[in-house]
Copies of this chain bind each other. A is one copy, B any other.
């Protein structure tokens, strides 16, 4: 994407101190994206992150309450960024069908680097979304955290795309169900392709995932 200097806004409830407001904050975000990828979320700790970025863990605790809220911060950033991409990519398209098709593509395709956000590696972040993001809301605290608005950026993406579905077929009864199925599904399939290929049908070279979910959506709402 272009070299605009845009800032993605993340709800302040997700941090104690805004990581986008200091150099240490940037290092925390950039370092955590790398380290979570490297170790996996369970093995990742603030101690190890501190060692990596050369700061004590106590400093990281001044930005984030826990590694769990840091992960929510990252996913929240990601979904806001996806929404921005969505709006950007469909801005001048008039046909609702073309708009939805383009949107499904963005939601299901592999992510490319976006130079607009210097310290965030979107490709690695997408890998975290694929591998770790289910852990964000599969906890005993979901209801609490949902009330505090922790998942609003994800819900907003689902809502925006659901509205596009309704634009095409106002009588369709399950837009949110369809779109969340597609988003979660595409991530799952990308994960399966790498780790549990028996559960998917991904061939090298071809991107079956985009095709499969595009077909699925248009057949479902017809």
Tell me, in angstroms, the Cα distance from A222 to B219 when the chains sit together: 10
Please, how many residues of chain A have a CB less than 8 angstroms from a CB on the other chain? 49
A177 touches B212 (CB 8 A): yes
Copy total for this chain: 2
Q: Which of A80-88, A96-104, A185-193 contacts B (4 or more CB under 8 A)?
A: A185-193
Distance of A138 from chain B, by nearest CB (Å): 6
A160 within 8 A of B: no
A187: nearest chain-B partner, CB-CB = B184
A196 touches B142 (CB 8 A): yes
Distance of A123 from chain B, by nearest CB (Å): 19
B199 touches A188 (CB 8 A): no
A169 within 8 A of B: no
Identify which of residues 167-212 in chain A touch chain B, using a CB-to-CB cut-off of 8 Å: 173-178, 180-181, 184-185, 188-189, 191-192, 195-196, 198-202, 208-209, 212
B173 touches A180 (CB 8 A): no
B134 touches A134 (CB 8 A): yes
A159 within 8 A of B: yes
Contacts of A195 in B (CB 8 A): 137, 142-143, 146
Tell me, in angstroms, the Cα distance from A7 to B190 when the chains sit together: 35
Question: Within the complex, which residue of B39, B174, B219 is in contact with A219, where a contact is CB–CB below 8 Å?
Answer: B219
Tell me, in angstroms, the Cα distance from A198 to B140 when the chains sit together: 18
Contacts of A188 in B (CB 8 A): 180-181, 184
B200 touches A189 (CB 8 A): no
Tell me, in angstroms, the Cα distance from A19 to B219 when the chains sit together: 46
Question: Within the complex, which residue of B135, B158, B189, B220 is in contact with A177, where a contact is CB–CB below 8 Å?
Answer: B189
Question: Within the complex, which residue of B173, B180, B202, B220 is in contact with A189, where a contact is CB–CB below 8 Å?
Answer: B180
A200: nearest chain-B partner, CB-CB = B177
Sample 9 A-B pairs with CB under 8 A, ordered by A number: A42-B140, A134-B134, A142-B196, A143-B195, A158-B198, A173-B208, A175-B201, A177-B201, A181-B188
